[in-house]
Amino acid sequence: MNVFFLFTWIMEIFDWTPFDSNPIDAFLQGLVGACGVSVLYNLVRVYNFIQTCSDSDIISRNKQRSSSFVSPLRRNWRASLQFWCLTVLLSLVGSRVSSLIVLEFSLRAISAWTSAGLDAGARSADLLLIQCQFSLGCSLTCTLAFLHQGALHSSLSLCLAAALSWALASYSSSLLSHVVRLFPLHSTERYCGKCISLLTSGHNILASLQRVVVLAFAVATVASTATVYDHFLSQRDAIKFWTPLTLCYAMLVVYSTQEDQTGTESNLHTVVVRLGGLLVLMLTVGNWSDVLHALIALLGEVVCVLSSQDLLQGLIKVI
């Protein structure tokens, strides 16, 4: 009991609580964000597998080893661990830090797209689709937090959103399992509706995902801009203090896009550079909770990078 009061006293001193709002609402927002990341992760893997199996020789060779291509038990165990880790981390990251992450990644994506050529721009967009996993989760959580700010029945609305997100994530996971186990056989026998649809229109999965992700970031950018203005820029003389720091951070982000980030080590280096700059901003203009949330976001980015090694390798092969 004394330990509980001591913990409460420490939180009051540093003006910090684990959640920005109701813990139930924060958990539901994190669940929606993790479901969005899971849908992106599963559909990109489906796309990679379909492109790998597009050659008839590969299809005939995969008939004998489709069941052993990847262990379903190990894949499900890793996916479940990643999913619940992201749910917890996205629940803990506050809307202030999530909004800054969204704005930072949007700036990085625009810079990478405008600085690259036509072919290189398409390749860069495909790689950014893999690298945006945690930022996509933050975009969903900060958008939900902005839309439900001050709502009377926010928990009920978030429950409905979480249920729909869970259904979409479950369907994408079952589709991935079906494709990995049966697509090499069904694509030649042509008696499975799912595999026939993927065989004819599976090459459009990546383009459709890009459009959906761009729409999600566009909406989140509006919500993030409003959140950043309310919490940071509306204070007196805040513009004078934020302008040089933001310019330096933007230059740091643009510098990180000039390198060819296709490996795990380079992606981890980029994550450290990006969120290291965010941590400096929070140490300068934020409070202790923002600093902690930035560290939690760093952990979430590392989890996404480590779990997407096969996605990067498969995407590099098909593009």
* Distance (Å) of CA 282 to CA 184, 185, 277, 291: 50, 53, 9, 6
Q: What is the pLDDT of residue 104?
A: 85
Q: Is the dihedral of CA 250, 255, 260, 265 positive or negative?
A: negative
Choose among 276, 286, 241: nearest CA to 255: 276
Instruction: In whole angstroms, give the CA distance from residue 289 to residue 44.
Output: 34
Q: Which two tokens stand for residue 262?
A: 């296709």
CB 136 within 8 A of CB 40: yes
What letter represents residue 5's amino acid?
A: F
Instruction: In whole angstroms, give the CA distance from residue 101 to residue 4.
Output: 32
Q: What is the pLDDT of residue 163?
A: 95
* Distance (Å) of CA 52 to CA 38, 56, 179, 297: 21, 10, 12, 33
Q: What is the pLDDT of residue 57?
A: 45
Choose among 178, 203, 202, 205: nearest CA to 192: 178
Q: Is the dihedral of CA 187, 190, 195, 199 positive or negative?
A: positive
* Distance (Å) of CA 291 to CA 161, 164, 196, 296, 298: 29, 32, 50, 9, 11
| Full pLDDT tens readout for the chain, 319 residues | 444 344 444 444 444 455 556 788 899 999 999 999 999 989 988 888 888 776 544 444 444 444 444 455 456 777 888 899 999 999 999 888 899 899 888 888 887 777 765 455 566 677 788 888 999 999 999 999 998 887 777 889 999 999 999 999 999 999 888 888 877 777 676 677 787 788 788 788 888 999 999 999 999 999 988 888 887 766 665 666 666 666 766 666 666 655 555 566 777 777 877 787 788 778 877 788 888 988 999 899 888 888 877 776 655 555 5
Instruction: Give the max Cα distance, the chain.
Output: 69
Q: What is the pLDDT of residue 7?
A: 40
Q: What is the CA radius of gyration of the chain?
A: 21
Instruction: In whole angstroms, give the CA distance from residue 134 to residue 146.
Output: 18
- What's 236's DSSP letter? T
Q: Show Cβ contacts of residue 131 under 8 Å, excluding neighbours closer than 6 positions.
A: 261, 267, 270, 305, 308
Q: What is the pLDDT of residue 3?
A: 40
Angle among Cα 293, 306, 119 to the nearest 5 degrees reads 105
Q: What is the pLDDT of residue 2?
A: 42
Q: Which two tokens stand for residue 56?
A: 């008839």
Q: Show Cβ contacts of residue 189 under 8 Å, excluding neighbours closer than 6 positions.
A: none
Q: What is the pLDDT of residue 314?
A: 59
Instruction: In whole angstroms, give the CA distance from residue 154 to residue 168.
Output: 21
Three-class HEC string of 208-227: HHHHHHHHHHHHHHHHHHHH
Q: What is the pLDDT of residue 230?
A: 81
Instruction: In whole angstroms, give the CA distance from residue 291 to residue 287.
Output: 7
Choose among 269, 281, 274: nearest CA to 244: 281
Q: What is the pLDDT of residue 79?
A: 80
